[in-house]
Structure 1
């Protein structure tokens, strides 16, 4: 049944030779890898207005110069990540750049930040998409968390089906979203040109506003920079592109940057000119669409596509997280299970882990986008800063042709990214402090995992491994719970190996049953030594492990090896296992940690 369900949800397994068919062309790559960055247009401008609200709506004209600053930073980031694509064509983005140029710890900070950021990408995107749905249908507002969790599960399943299939589905809503926002901006500009918008709806640009300060403007700029999250995803995902991968990735990055800049500028300008004020229950985009078109088909088209791209923007995380995890796993900083491809040739373990932690975040923050965005933005601007700095070091060290121009681009990007990161910590510390706790813990965990893998390698390597234990003989211990075919099967197996000694061990809870069992055993297996152990506290594990330890110490003196042969019957149907106490599994679990004891299980398969 489970296999059938898996085939229905995930699809048929793909051969390894079909991997090249899972590569993306530029059209699909733009949809699947730019959806996060493009979707931030729906909430980035709103974050600018929310930051200016502390002064009042009269300060909204400052959103225009702030937006110009955001676009300048976007330009620097796009040009910088284009350089990263050609400098590191195998992907890895900020993690690889930082590790190679700034050192391992800098790389791990960038990698750890991005891993957390991609989890936040899914949580923020789905939460923001749910907000768009509840703005259009207020009756659903009380079910925000449940809707968000359902969407994460659906996107996770979609990604488990494979990259090409998910990209084919995602391309439509992404391009429909771009069309919807072009219609929204075009409709708004037409309304402004025809004089349908009152000049009193907004404060003229340049009007002095009491209470404004450089600190507030920097905080507003930092809030607006949340629209730049996801810009780095293409440089991380170069292996997803068809050949020539770096060229296709660079062109896709430029296309994304152009679309993001144009749509972001248009929405900020419209929001300012229309005098749109942020509302907790209705998004800025929803208010603008209603004012420009009314509650008609155009309004629901814009809201519908906005909700879709906000939800499906999570797919950027699903595309980039597994590849980043692969790079970290190759360097032995996270478990090697992230290197394994699933049935559909995707890195399934990374996809499942990402979905699981995203749901935990949504539940923890109750799908409140405004609480997640600051943490989300810090998680991406820290790697931005490190990657730009890393590229600066690379150009100064290697000095290739045109390195001064490249250095200038990266220096501008690093400086602005650093300012934004600092502003987030200064202005939103109550919301972003967790990263100061979790990031060092993540880096420490990375190092612990690496030390474990190094220690395992040292112990397994023939040149450094300690000499193998010389075995002169073998003592076999067979725990028995009764006189059954299961026990008989295990005893016959032990005899076939011709050990020096076989010891059957019976754990008795009652004295009467102990004597009775000994008498029956002498008649049934007279040539097998039986040892009965009385358990005062009805425990099987304690007396058995103590006996095994005693035998093992004596056996070791004569270079004998102790093997525990565990009888186990296997029910015909899997669900029958819950009807049995699984004592054999419990014994095996405890004994596996005995250094010099071999544990083997002899299965007996039931037929009905």
Structure 2
């Protein structure tokens, strides 16, 4: 197993090599912006899917809707830039909400983001798989299997460390940006040169029967799914090279500019070329086919789109472990999430994210359209809370220039709130799980925190606590299965402890076996008292634990300590363990929860 682990994730790194794992702006843009940039592959499509419920004549509304999305993007970028400098240690929406709005709003933001990052992986990989099967329809029935394989590969890549995954990811991300820019440039060139008929689309301003503000807001909220992932950089500031806040802010600005150009360009080409959403072919695929035809460039666009959609999952792998660290430090989730792995990454967070994402992909059968609304509402709740938290911060502190900052955050909070409400109003059958899992997650956070507080109270040394009773003596109970070297080894150890009494306990299943063993014991160690507990129902645990409880009750009256010594032989090879009953492990597992009983395992190592 060790050799397989080394092959997959590499040799361990020393703690003082942590600085080598920090990201420069070029790599950070690739690893932390891939989610936001990849969402342009399905964000514009979500707008058209709403507008087509009226008719294709309504597609011209995608232009003003896209402008609205860009306004929201600008507000979010400016706001998260402020968060980066205000909270340079990372944590994003969770830390902002907790410090300015209170513990429970912080937990709502943190819980939403944890689930959102799981959805990031599931949505990204599912969308990437859709892009592959759009180009190769014969693979459509293998969507789930392909998606799970990709999650396993990305999880392994991230276990190798931040810099290795960033070095690998940078190429497909920048190739995708190049491919889309080439597609947009060629598409615009063909329009300006007159190669594209002007009757493919409805002119802007054409009246459309049945249009309503509600429908437009629904399309706007759907298109805003292209903004998911914008918050990832503010969560992952600790991953940047020094000066981390400055580098994070510059990376955020670069991401915002790229996202704005790609999103608006795809929306415009989809409108001008009269692209209609198709269940089996993505909008980007249709645009590329219209612009290039089915040639090398079409497959280049499809290939890079599929790659970035799949590798956009890496944003989740970058942000989820760091958010988990902040929650774990506050004792809301298990402390294991604060532990760095062999490659200095938070491997427990990475593994948990991979496993949960696979479960989600299988549960939803890899259908991206079912995941996107849940994914989007999960990120707009933290958007709203973080913007509101920053509003409270500026109102309380009133630093220099706070009015302009307040306006930016107020704008972002208001639009994010509207988008969140529209998701609940228009896609309730798809987003209602948020209303179930968020309270459950907060309850889980609360119970974990209470557990840690209770443990701390019980472990803390305090002079006001009663002194423990003095131990007057020791009674040793030794479960024995036979007359073997394992038992002999354990008996010698028991005798070395100078116990007041040693009791060997044997649990036979047949009366004949009971008599035979008693005769053998008299010859083996007659000086050690033997108790046989006949078990007609062939249970070792029940009669043994009942006997130990009886001895412990009588021993406690005289302030005697009961110690159970469990003999255990250790096979030379690990896989040999599956060939044995492992009774010693079962005995120890049951006795661990007995109060005032000490359990000691005496191993006997086999040589062959």
- After TM superposition, is the score higher than 0.5? yes
Q: Give the aligned partner of residue 575 of structure 1.
A: 575
Tell me the distance in 2 between the aligned counterparts of 1:290 and 1:523.
89
Tell me the distance in 2 between the aligned counterparts of 1:510 and 1:139.
63
Q: Give the aligned partner of residue 462 of structure 1.
A: 461
The alignment partner of 2:390 has SS state of: helix
Q: Give the aligned partner of residue 424 of structure 1.
A: 423
Q: Give the aligned partner of residue 526 of structure 2.
A: 526
1:508 CA displacement: 1.5
1:197 aligns with 2:185: no
Tell me the distance in 1 between the aligned counterparts of 2:378 and 2:192.
41
1:286 aligns with 2:285: yes
The answer to whether the Cα contact below 8 Å between 1:177 and 1:309 also exists between their aligned partners in 2 is: yes
The alignment partner of 2:54 has SS state of: coil
Tell me the distance in 2 between the aligned counterparts of 1:489 and 1:539.
25
Contiguous gaps of at least 5 residues in structure 2:
none
The answer to whether the Cα contact below 8 Å between 1:508 and 1:514 also exists between their aligned partners in 2 is: yes
TM (norm. structure 1) is 0.99
Which of structure 1's runs of 4+ aligned residues deviate more than 4 A?
none
The alignment partner of 2:533 has SS state of: strand
Contiguous gaps of at least 5 residues in structure 1:
none
Q: Give the aligned partner of residue 131 of structure 1.
A: 130
The alignment partner of 2:304 has SS state of: helix
Tell me the distance in 1 between the aligned counterparts of 2:431 and 2:537.
52
The alignment partner of 2:150 has SS state of: helix
Tell me the distance in 1 between the aligned counterparts of 2:317 and 2:235.
12
1:351 to 1:542, Cα distance in 2 relative to 1, 3 A: same
Q: Give the aligned partner of residue 20 of structure 1.
A: 19
1:566 CA displacement: 0.4
The alignment partner of 1:243 has SS state of: coil
Q: Give the aligned partner of residue 332 of structure 1.
A: 331
The alignment partner of 2:507 has SS state of: strand
The answer to whether the Cα contact below 8 Å between 1:40 and 1:228 also exists between their aligned partners in 2 is: yes
1:8-157 equivalent positions in 2, closer than 5 A:
8-157=7-156
1:246 CA displacement: 0.2
Tell me the distance in 2 between the aligned counterparts of 1:509 and 1:300.
70
1:416-565 equivalent positions in 2, closer than 5 A:
416-463=415-462, 467-565=467-565
Tell me the distance in 1 between the aligned counterparts of 2:318 and 2:243.
19
Q: Give the aligned partner of residue 593 of structure 2.
A: 593
Q: Give the aligned partner of residue 412 of structure 1.
A: 411
Give the total of aligned pairs: 607
1:469 CA displacement: 3.8
**1:531-578: per-residue Cα shift (whole Å, max 9, x none)?**
111112110011000000000000001111100000010111111111
Tell me the distance in 2 between the aligned counterparts of 1:509 and 1:129.
60
Q: Give the aligned partner of residue 277 of structure 1.
A: 276
Q: Give the aligned partner of residue 242 of structure 1.
A: 241
Could you say what the CA RMSD is over the residues aligned between the two structures, in angstroms? 0.7
The answer to whether the Cα contact below 8 Å between 1:567 and 1:603 also exists between their aligned partners in 2 is: yes
1:252 aligns with 2:283: no
Tell me the distance in 2 between the aligned counterparts of 1:544 and 1:501.
17
1:466 CA displacement: 5.3
**1:323-357: per-residue Cα shift (whole Å, max 9, x none)?**
00000000000000001101100000000000000
The alignment partner of 1:471 has SS state of: coil
1:579 CA displacement: 0.8
TM (norm. structure 2) is 0.99
The answer to whether the Cα contact below 8 Å between 1:109 and 1:443 also exists between their aligned partners in 2 is: yes
1:466 to 1:197, Cα distance in 2 relative to 1, 3 A: farther
1:517 CA displacement: 1.2
1:470 CA displacement: 2.1
1:52 to 1:481, Cα distance in 2 relative to 1, 3 A: same
**1:209-264: per-residue Cα shift (whole Å, max 9, x none)?**
00110000000000000000000000000000000000000000000001001110
1:168 to 1:535, Cα distance in 2 relative to 1, 3 A: same
The answer to whether the Cα contact below 8 Å between 1:459 and 1:466 also exists between their aligned partners in 2 is: no
Tell me the distance in 2 between the aligned counterparts of 1:508 and 1:571.
24
The answer to whether the Cα contact below 8 Å between 1:458 and 1:465 also exists between their aligned partners in 2 is: no
The answer to whether the Cα contact below 8 Å between 1:234 and 1:249 also exists between their aligned partners in 2 is: yes
